[in-house]
Amino acid sequence: MRKELPYSLTALGRERLPPSISLPTGEFRFVKLFKHDFFAVTALYEGPGGKVVLKVGRKADFLGLPCGWMGRILARHEADAYRRLRDLDTVPRFLGMWGRHGFAHAYVEGHPMRKGEHVPDDFFSRLRNAVNAIHRRRMAYVDLEKPQNVIVGDDGRPYLIDFQISWHLPKRYGGTLWPATYVLKRLQDADRYHIGKLQRRTRPDQLTPEQLASTYRTPWYINVHRWLTRPAMLFRRRTLQRLDPKRRAGERGALP
């Protein structure tokens, strides 16, 4: 018998998503839950206007500490990324905010990229073009290490979702000054490195021997990041291993 996650480890706590939502594009009813973890809950809704994805940032307290502020910041940050990239056909269309903690974007028919999947020949050239377009806007995607953040559309094209930890620091906050520009450059380098790793896992036949070898050489800045975050990662992994030992579909600690 599997253990259920404590309410404190889910973004909404004891609260549940509404059976229907109202957006500027119309009314939509709940269809299914995609993911519910500590930071956010993501679900599919459908209406006369089509299918939409609703993402709501953390609202529940944690160990008696209010965390609603965290959910509001993350929701606004991610919604801003979708707005900035609204003209890219590889990013789902932003559909507006939902309350103070949530936002919605168009649903892309497809599935998360799987390790070993044979994607179309032009898939990675399209993906690199998309990431390069993001970089030209002084942004970095940051989370390409997770293949599930890349959607393989039913049309065979790549689509990027989940900009929760993407990087963009506006000029008014020093985004064009050092060290912000240095951090941005390293994060963009990491994006390109992780595209190479994704390609190695799905279409290694498209890589030259030199390119293939480079995907096994982890850049120093990624090693530094892993070293700094390793204690927290191990603590989270051990905690979730106890709560979710069988690692149900998706990430540990996420309610499917």
The token duo for 175 is 């985004």
- Report the Cα–Cα distance between both ends of the chain, in Å, rounded: 17
Maximum separation of any 2 CA atoms in the chain, in Å: 54
Closest to 168 measured CA to CA, from 137, 200, 203: 137
Instruction: Quote the CA–CA distance of 139 and 85 in Å, as a whole number.
Output: 10
The model's pTM = 0.90
pLDDT given for residue 226 in this prediction: 82
Beta strand 20-23 with 40-47: parallel, antiparallel or unpaired?
unpaired
17: CB partners within 8 A, 6+ apart: 30, 33, 41, 43, 54, 56
The token duo for 23 is 């957006």
- What separation in angstroms does the CA of 94 have from each of 28, 75, 158, 221, 253? 15, 12, 17, 32, 27
- What separation in angstroms does the CA of 243 have from each of 2, 49, 57, 238? 8, 39, 22, 9
Q: Are 88 and 40 in contact, with CB atoms under 8 Å apart?
A: no
Instruction: Quote the CA–CA distance of 67 and 57 in Å, as a whole number.
Output: 10
Closest to 19 measured CA to CA, from 35, 43, 48, 55: 43
| Domains within the chain, CATH numbers bracketed | 1-107+246-256 (3.30.200.20), 110-217 (1.10.510.10)
- Residue 172 DSSP code: G
Q: What is the length of the chain? A: 256
| Mean pLDDT, each 10-residue run in order, the chain (256 residues) | 73 96 95 95 96 98 94 97 97 97 98 95 98 98 95 98 96 93 97 98 97 95 84 71 59 50
